[in-house]
């Protein structure tokens, strides 16, 4: 399947989202290539977050199509997109506060045997084996992020940075093909930020595709191959960050915005 789709994993085609008379997203088209880190930037109110929400399935588009991994997913609800490998995180990290950190990871895996009708009917023996594997994967991931000691803490007690880490680990538990990140660095200390950047680069190296909305242009510069610039609901320009910095149009948009 992925072979047929060529190198493009996400194809956004003339996307529109209107709120009453406001055109928050007004005919946006761009693509994300497999294994790349693509940035989506623009001034406040440019429609980046709305575009991301539409791609993630949180908001339904007024017009336009979204193709993901060779399939038209425009009508998919959010959970169906997650199941085909299109996973998003949130601007404000959202964790399941009353679950423990490790449970936050475990719960994310789609189609668990223990969630199925058969699992509920048959009981523990039906899902115990799968569960054990998931716990191992989750522990490994917690180790990688240096959060093993927090495994049994309720997620609501974690710091902002830790919550964001939980969110990203949770996304990774789902084995996504494309990760949508909405300002992943917001609120992180510079050192944490750098760690996360390294992590994202490593993930991309392993073949994961990333689309991120980010404010900090230096971060975008370091991470992203391609950058899409939005202003007033439209795509203004796209290219490499270094080129875009020189573009008059882009500069104007940021100043005006």
| Footprint of other proteins (CB under 8 A) | 19-22, 56-58, 77-80, 82-83, 87-90, 94-100, 102-104, 106-108, 110-115, 119-121, 123-124, 127-128, 131-132, 135-136, 138-139, 151-152, 154, 170, 174
- In degrees and rounded to multiples of 5, residue 166 shows phi and psi of -60, -40
Residue 156 region by backbone torsions, left for phi larger than 0, else alpha for psi between -120 and 50, else beta:
alpha
Alpha-carbon gap, residue 206 to 80, rounded angstroms? 24
- In degrees and rounded to multiples of 5, residue 75 shows phi and psi of -90, 0
CB of 250 to other proteins, least distance (A): 27
Residue 183 vs 238, nearer CB to other proteins:
183
Residue 47 vs 114, nearer CB to other proteins:
114
Residue 95 vs 241, nearer CB to other proteins:
95
Residue 11 vs 131, nearer CB to other proteins:
131
Can you say how many angstroms the Cα of residue 26 is from the centroid of all Cα atoms in its chain? 22
Smallest CA-to-CA distance from 207 within 175, 184, 164 is with 175
CB of 206 to other proteins, least distance (A): 21
Alpha-carbon gap, residue 134 to 83, rounded angstroms? 17
User: Do 100 and 154 touch, CB atoms closer than 8 A?
Assistant: yes
CB of 243 to other proteins, least distance (A): 33
Alpha-carbon gap, residue 29 to 112, rounded angstroms? 35
CB of 58 to other proteins, least distance (A): 7
Residue 131 vs 221, nearer CB to other proteins:
131
Alpha-carbon gap, residue 42 to 17, rounded angstroms? 17
Residue 30 region by backbone torsions, left for phi larger than 0, else alpha for psi between -120 and 50, else beta:
beta
CB of 153 to other proteins, least distance (A): 10
Paired strand residues for 8 = 33
CB of 96 to other proteins, least distance (A): 4
Residue 3 vs 20, nearer CB to other proteins:
20
What's the half-sphere exposure (Cβ side, CA atoms, 13 Å) at 125?
A: 1
Residue 78 vs 199, nearer CB to other proteins:
78
CB of 89 to other proteins, least distance (A): 8
């Amino acid at each position: 399947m992925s072979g047929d789709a060529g190198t493009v994993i996400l194809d956004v085609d003339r996307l529109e989202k209107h709120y009453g008379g406001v055109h928050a997203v007004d005919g946006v088209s761009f693509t994300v290539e497999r294994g790349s880190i693509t940035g989506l930037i623009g001034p406040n109110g440019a429609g980046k977050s709305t575009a991301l929400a539409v791609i993630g399935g949180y908001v339904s588009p007024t017009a336009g199509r979204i193709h993901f991994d060779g399939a038209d997913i425009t009508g998919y609800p959010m959970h169906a997109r997650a199941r085909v490998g299109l996973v998003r995180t949130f601007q404000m990290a959202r964790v399941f506060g009353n679950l423990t950190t490790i449970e936050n990871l475990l719960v994310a895996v789609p189609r668990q045997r223990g969630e199925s009708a058969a699992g509920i009917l048959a009981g523990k023996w039906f899902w115990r084996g799968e569960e054990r594997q998931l716990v191992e994967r989750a522990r490994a991931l917690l180790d990688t992020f240096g959060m093993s000691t927090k495994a049994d803490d309720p997620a609501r007690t974690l710091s902002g940075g830790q919550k964001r880490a939980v969110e990203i680990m949770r996304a990774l538990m789902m084995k996504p093909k494309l990760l949508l990140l909405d300002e992943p660095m917001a609120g992180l200390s510079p050192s944490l930020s750098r760690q996360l950047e390294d992590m994202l680069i490593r993930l991309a190296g392993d073949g994961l595709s990333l689309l991120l909305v980010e404010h900090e242009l230096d971060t975008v510069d370091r991470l992203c191959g391609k950058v899409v610039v939005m202003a007033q609901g439209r795509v203004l320009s796209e290219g490499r960050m270094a080129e875009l910095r020189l573009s008059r149009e882009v500069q104007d948009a940021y100043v005006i915005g």
